[in-house]
Structure 1
Amino acid sequence: MDYKFMKNAHMMVAAPTGGGKSYFVGWMAEKLYQAGRRFIILDTKTRNHIGLVALKKLKLLKIKPNTQYDYWKLINYDQVLCIPTERTKTKELINHYRAILDTVFAAKKPITVFVEEAHNYNPNPHVPDELLELIAREGRSSRINLVFITQRIQDFPKLLWSQCKLTYLFKFMIPQDVKYIARMIPNFEEINRELQKHDCLEYDHESNEVRIIRASEIIRRTRHYG
């Protein structure tokens, strides 16, 4: 199967809580791993993607409170999973992840960066985080691809979403969310009605091509704890 997310592109993955996005993101990471592609996951939960440690040579970094790290060392690893400890507060964690993003951008090496709960980085739903905007605009020339992951799609700045070539969406049940998404994706209201539980809509913003990836096609090799 031709996986478009293997190409040089920024992406959005969005779904309501429990909609299947973390399982899907883990599946994407496994496909990148199998292809020998570099990635780093900036997770905001302790167990969301912990099953990926079963992948040989994947580096696990636990972000502890009041601790300094040399993030340049992460550049030496091809696949990295970053997670917080239970005592790490969200604000401190996001500051660490900004430092990692800054290091990744400075290194100029091809990599896919999964940004979990991407809405938490921005000052408000209308103003994007300056670093995320910079990488979104300039990163593709170095094949640095961002994957924005959110369950609060209306809280994620459209400016960043507009930098994405691909969007992956699961079924939305709240009418306001459906109408909001329909402003970006033609016929989404109709497509959303066709989606079954854990089916995923793939939308290509350049070609307007739509593909539904059925839940039966999204099969993980590693255990999912989310």
Structure 2
Amino acid sequence: MFLKIRIGVRRDGEPFELDVREYLINSGLAIIGKRGVGKSYLVGLIAERLSEIGQQFVLVDIMGQYYTLKQKYPVIVVSMGKEEYADFKVTVDMAEDIAKVILESGQSVVLDLSYATMLDQYRFMASFFKAFYDTAREVRRPVVLIIDEIHRITPERSMIKLREVAEYQNKVAYWVAEIARTGRKHGIGYVVAGQREAETAKTSLTQCEIQINFKVTGVDFENLRRKIPQEIANEVKNFKAGEAVVLGFDEEFVIKVDKRKTPHGGETPVFTPVEVDISSFLKLVEKIEKSAEESERGRDLPRRVKELESSIVDMKKRLAELEERNKQLEEENKRLRSEIKARDERIKKLEDDLATASELGRKLERIKEVSTAVVDAITEFAEEVGIELYPSDIAELIRRVRELEQKVEMYEATERERKYLVDQALSDVAVKQTIREMESYIKRELLGVRGALPDIFRQVVRFDPDTVFFVEDVDTTVTESTVRSYLRKLEGIGIIAEASLHGKRGFRNTFYAWVNTKLRRVKATIPDEAVDKVYDQLREIIIG
């Protein structure tokens, strides 16, 4: 048989009592009120009254306000922190086991999560509420679940941005809603308290047929005013701490909450707790943990066997793939050997053809030399004996052609030597390293940075080195002072230099000189053409 608990007195002096089965388990109770008006005080009073009649309850406390119940009542405080007042310390991983222990022990518990991080609070509550609901269906012993700060635990609109926290918050909201909707079938009483009805998830409140509203304002007052008589509505805004209006009965009425026998945790009380025998509680913890370990091992063996079988299948599949790949590589190797053999044969033939061509070239060159010598000898003989072999104008033309041929040979030799010196300079290890360093510096420090510098740098490199340019000549969206600061930076690097035109100070493009100086520091004799090539290469990177 369920008993009643007194929590206050009506205006007419009649005590206000709640039948535990009818109004806490079958109906559900919501307590709404602003901060400091007595909302949490009433939660503590309900816990006291439940303790006095021997009714088990579980109070979820994220603010650390209800451990003071220990002063007069045999309540166990389970905490996730290192509080001295805690009877039992838990971690997130123990949430399911603790839910089972609490329900099987039949002892009232304050679940103090005040010193846990927000993530750990939601992780713990998600596992706890699920296990609490599942275990209650098996135990089927009446228990009252009390959740304070419901507006923070299950908000109507979550402001949490961290994905992991939001994920667990959604799980908590689901199980709170499930307990509110169907918990009564399994003997779970439901009491929640929050500051604002508008900010609390509707699924957490709609199942509460009884509401106790303390002083509220704003949207919450407007919502309340539509539910109560006008004369009571006129009083609500002027309610003192501990005064509230009750909804859900045949008529609405105002009550004054009774005084508690234990101090409110928010007042930082000092007290000596009553002795609580938690030996049976600890034995249940050990029993459940041992059972969980054995169950886990039993479940782990088939899983492990399945994993090994899956690994064997994967290994066989991988072996088949490797064998197929090996077969493909053998065929590829055979094909490559055939191609190499054919290539070697072609190379041999080409070498033979080249040898033949070289021999023919030498013979032709020898014939040319001999024929030239014969012609020269005949011409010289003819001149000495006074015989005219060619007309004078033809002879002069032949002489000029020979001079031109000698000049062409000299030019070609000079060009070959010049190209060799350029290639040799560009192949120099120090020069190549310097080029790489310049490229890297340009890409990283001048083109790869944020802001207007990359665009200004590109424009500067386009300017004619022989022309003086000014700050206003740089086309950009930033201010002239910003452009000037960037130009000073480029001047400090050596890419531009200060110059003047008609008395006006400006700048000149010295990018070529910067490149030339860098290269000649590592190789003073580098040809100008090599410098030109490097300059063109870097300019192409900059301008594109």
Pick from 150, 153, 160 the counterpart of residue 204 of structure 2. 160
What's the secondary structure of 1:18's corresponding residue?
coil
What's the secondary structure of 1:214's corresponding residue?
strand
Pick from 264, 269, 275 the counterpart of residue 224 of structure 1. 264
Distance in 2, matches of 1:125 and 1:208, equals: 33
What's the secondary structure of 1:155's corresponding residue?
coil
Aligned to 1:143: 187
- The Cα of 1:67 is off from its aligned counterpart by 4.2
Map 1:40-59 onto structure 2 (within 5 A). 40-46=58-64, 48-59=65-76
Aligned to 2:130: 102
- Would you say the 8 A contact 1:171–1:198 is kept in 2? no
For normalisation by structure 1, the TM-score amounts to 0.85
- The Cα of 1:104 is off from its aligned counterpart by 2.1
CA gap of 1:91–1:211, structure 2 versus 1, over 3 A, is: farther
Aligned to 1:122: 154
Map 1:1-226 onto structure 2 (within 5 A). 1=15, 3-4=17-18, 6=20, 7=22, 8=25, 9-46=27-64, 48-64=65-81, 67-69=92-94, 70-71=97-98, 72-75=100-103, 76-86=105-115, 88-108=116-136, 109-122=141-154, 124-125=156-157, 129-172=173-216, 174-183=217-226, 185-187=227-229, 189-193=233-237, 195-204=239-248, 207-215=249-257, 218-226=258-266
- The Cα of 1:2 is off from its aligned counterpart by 5.2
- Would you say the 8 A contact 2:61–2:114 is kept in 1? no
Q: Which one is further off, 154-163 or 126-135?
A: 126-135
What's the secondary structure of 2:111's corresponding residue?
strand
Structure index of larger Rg: 2
1:182-211 Cα offsets, whole Å, 9 max, x none, are 35x23363351463332122211xx44223
1:128-183 Cα offsets, whole Å, 9 max, x none, are 922112111111112211211111321112343221121111112x2322013335
- Which is helix-richer, 1 or 2? 2
- The Cα of 1:89 is off from its aligned counterpart by 1.3
Distance in 1, matches of 2:202 and 2:234, equals: 22
Q: Which one is further off, 186-195 or 71-80?
A: 186-195
Distance in 2, matches of 1:182 and 1:131, equals: 31
For normalisation by structure 2, the TM-score amounts to 0.37
Distance in 2, matches of 1:66 and 1:34, equals: 30
- Would you say the 8 A contact 1:166–1:202 is kept in 2? yes
- Would you say the 8 A contact 1:19–1:197 is kept in 2? yes
CA RMSD, Structure 1 to Structure 2 (Å): 2.5
Distance in 1, matches of 2:71 and 2:111, equals: 14
Give ranges in structure 2 of 5+ residues lacking alignment: 1-14, 82-89, 159-169, 267-544
- Would you say the 8 A contact 2:58–2:111 is kept in 1? yes
What's the secondary structure of 1:133's corresponding residue?
helix
> Relative contact order, CA 8 A, sep 6+: which one is greater?
1
- Would you say the 8 A contact 2:198–2:220 is kept in 1? yes
- Would you say the 8 A contact 1:119–1:125 is kept in 2? no
- Which is strand-richer, 1 or 2? 1
- The Cα of 1:85 is off from its aligned counterpart by 4.9
CA gap of 1:101–1:5, structure 2 versus 1, over 3 A, is: farther
Q: Which one is further off, 27-36 or 103-112?
A: 103-112
Aligned residues: 218
